[in-house]
Every structure is written in C-alpha cells, then in structure tokens.
C-alpha cells in the first residue's frame, strides 16, 4: 500500500502492453435508443465478451502472470464469482494450481466455470469476511499467495486496461470521452479507470446498488465505511467495504458515485439485451443504469463511456428480468 498513485498509473500502461494479445480487445458498442435516453453519445465497452466472461480476466491474468514468473506454483482467490473464474483460467494458462473460495450462494454458472477451469472450489458462508478468513487460512497451509479481488495493485492495473482501451477507441472514433462510468464492488475497476483517465480531463463516476454503497459513504466520511450489503440482483457489487488501495486512489480523483436500484439495473439489462443484442450480467448493466442517471450537461452533447464489466448470468435470472418486458408487450398487443 506504499506505492504512489503515479506508480500505479504507470502500471496500467505497462499492464496494457503486457496483456496485448493475451486478452480480447473487446468491441465498443452503441445504440441510438440508448443515446436518446441518456441525452448523450454512449459508448459501451463489451467486457461481457472477454475471456472468462468479464473484465476480471485482465487483472487476474496480470497478477497470476507475475506470480508465475516469480516461481509460485499455486494461487488462491476469493470472490462472489467472476474474479474466481478469472484467476482459475489464468492459473490454468500458466500451469499453476488454483483454489477459489466462493460464498455458499454463489451463482451456479460461476461455480461451474471455476471448476471447468480446473480450480478447487471451497465454499465459505455469505459474507466477504468469511471468505477472506478461509482464503488466508488456505494460504497459510499451502504457502500459495492470495490474489485479492480488488485490493491488489496488479489487479487494479489489469482492470484499468479496459477503461484505457475505451478511452483510446473513443479517440479513434472521433468522439473522445467526457465521462467514464464503471460499476463498483470493491473498487478495483473504478480505481483502474481513474488511473487510466488521469490527466485527460475525463470525469469518472462509480455506480453502486442502493444499500451496497460503501464507496459513496466512504467518500462522504473521508474514511472507509463498511456496510451490511443489501440484497441486489447485482451479485458482483456486494463487498462490505471498498478496498484500501482503491479508496486511496479514487478519493481525490473520482467525480462522484451514482446509486441505482434493482429496477433501474433490470431496465438497463433489458436495454443492453434488446438494443445491443449482447448479454450482460446485472452487475455489468449497473454501469449503464448509472450513466442514464447522470446529471445533464446543458446544451453540449457529451460522450459517455460505460464499461460493461461482465456477462456471467444465470439463465433463470435472464428469464425473470425479461418477464416485465414480455408483460408490457402483451399488454400493448391486447390494447391494439
């Protein structure tokens, strides 16, 4: 935690060079309907199409690669799902053993993906503190290092490369970003975004589900504030406290945090599926929900970048989230 923000900023650029050819440079998507709703040009970085189904692959691969180069033979991770899947896949690529600690209520899609990647899966309660304790114990027993899901400089640097690519692609399209929006769990992704945007004049916003707003409360208090996470369909955005290193990075650089409820996340999920024709998980769709809540920019039409952080979602949840839309269409048909 003694590294300066400047050093970690350089790590984002270095990580981007190292990850080139190792991860997918995911496309940037746009919809006229979404632009109209947002009152802005909205460019969406489709990290739901990344290897492993989320941008977590970037940070995991960077961290695992450095540990493999240092001679480690195994790694341990804990998360609600996507980081665990990414670490498992990265470990397999580098020939390392992987143990991942998941909550007992983890989405079966993410559990299956971690196992399919060759990881040993251990379940531990529902709270992050329970998973951390188990992961630390396994690390003590095995000697394998823990790769934290967000409080780790290599993870932050790797996650930040998604935002860096979006910034670069927006420039190439002739629509440079004015605003960058990233969903917030433990804060690694939004910290990476702040670093990627440093010196550019781009305003960075985080998005948290209502009741899972540790970062918003921490920024207001000036110190990290834990919360008892409320239920939300955005299962990847439920850490009880923003990470120490992410908070140190974003506290002076983040423009603000937008809180969104499950109805807004579900509406954004449906927009992404119907207008962009891609599947994002609710945690990823939260970024668009937040972008649609941004304050207006006056007469100027600005460009807003959104990182769709992942696409690992249960089929049953997809059906449930699409049901309101189906009911609306049925009502419209009956009225006609």
Q: What is the pLDDT of residue 6?
A: 53
Cα dist. 155→42, 142, 148 in Å?
Answer: 26, 22, 8
Please give the pLDDT value at position 9.
Answer: 76
Per-residue pLDDT 10s for the chain (336 aa) are: 345 555 467 889 999 999 999 999 999 999 999 999 999 999 999 999 999 999 999 999 999 999 999 999 999 999 988 999 999 999 999 999 999 999 998 888 889 999 999 999 999 988 888 999 999 999 999 999 999 999 999 999 999 999 999 999 999 999 999 999 999 999 999 999 999 999 999 999 999 999 999 999 999 999 999 999 899 999 889 888 999 999 999 998 999 999 999 999 999 999 999 999 999 999 999 999 999 999 877 767 899 999 999 999 889 999 999 985 544 444 444 444
Measured distance CA(101)–CA(267) in Å, rounded: 31
DSSP-assigned letter for residue 272: I
For residues 52 and 311, give the distance between their C-alpha atoms in angstroms, rounded to a whole number. 9
The answer to whether residues 194 and 238 touch, using CB atoms and an 8 Å cutoff, is: no
Q: What is the reported pLDDT for 216?
A: 98
Q: Note the pLDDT of residue 325.
A: 53
Cβ 36 vs Cβ 62: under 8 Å: no
Structure tokens at 22: 């190792």
Lookup: tokens for 298: 């006056």
| HSE of 16, CA atoms in CB hemisphere, 13 A | 20
pLDDT at 327: 44
Task: Count Cβ atoms within 10 A of the Cβ of residue 20 and give its class: 0-12 exposed, 13-18 middle, 19 or more buried.
Answer: exposed
User: pTM higher than 0.85, yes or no?
Assistant: yes
How far from chain centre, in Å, is Cα 56? 7
Query: Measuring CA to CA, which residue among 180, 161, 199, 162 is closest to residue 6?
Result: 199
């Amino acid at each position: 935690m003694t590294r300066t923000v400047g050093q970690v900023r350089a790590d984002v650029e270095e990580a981007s060079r190292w990850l080139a050819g190792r991860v997918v440079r995911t496309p940037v998507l746009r919809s006229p309907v979404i632009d109209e709703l947002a009152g802005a040009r909205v460019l969406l970085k489709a990290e739901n199409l990344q290897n492993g189904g989320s941008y977590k692959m970037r940070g995991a691969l960077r961290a695992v690669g450095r540990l493999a180069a240092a001679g480690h033979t195994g790694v341990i991770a804990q998360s609600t799902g996507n980081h665990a899947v990414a670490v498992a896949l990265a470990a397999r690529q580098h020939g390392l053993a992987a143990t991942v600690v998941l909550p007992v209520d983890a989405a079966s899609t993410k559990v299956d993906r971690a196992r399919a990647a060759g990881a040993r899966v251990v379940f531990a309660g529902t709270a992050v503190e329970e998973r951390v304790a188990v992961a630390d114990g396994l690390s003590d027993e095995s000697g394998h290092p823990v790769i934290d899901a967000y409080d780790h400089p290599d993870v932050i640097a790797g996650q930040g490369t998604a935002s860096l690519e979006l910034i670069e692609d927006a420039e190439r399209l002739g629509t440079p970003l004015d605003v960058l929006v990233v969903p917030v769990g433990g804060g690694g992704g939004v910290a990476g975004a702040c670093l990627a945007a440093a010196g550019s004049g781009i305003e960075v916003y985080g998005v948290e589900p209502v009741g899972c707003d540790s970062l918003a409360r921490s920024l207001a208090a000036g110190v990290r504030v834990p919360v008892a996470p409320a239920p939300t369909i955005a299962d990847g955005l439920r850490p009880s406290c923003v990470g120490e290193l992410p908070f140190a990075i974003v506290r002076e650089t983040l423009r603000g945090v937008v809180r969104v409820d499950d109805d807004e996340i579900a509406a954004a999920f449906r927009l992404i599926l119907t207008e962009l024709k891609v599947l994002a998980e609710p945690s990823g769709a939260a970024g668009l929900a937040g972008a649609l809540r941004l304050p207006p920019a006056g007469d100027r039409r600005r460009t807003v970048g959104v990182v769709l952080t992942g696409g690992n979602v249960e089929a049953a949840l997809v059906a449930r989230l699409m049901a309101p839309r189906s009911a609306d269409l049925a009502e419209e048909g009956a009225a006609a």
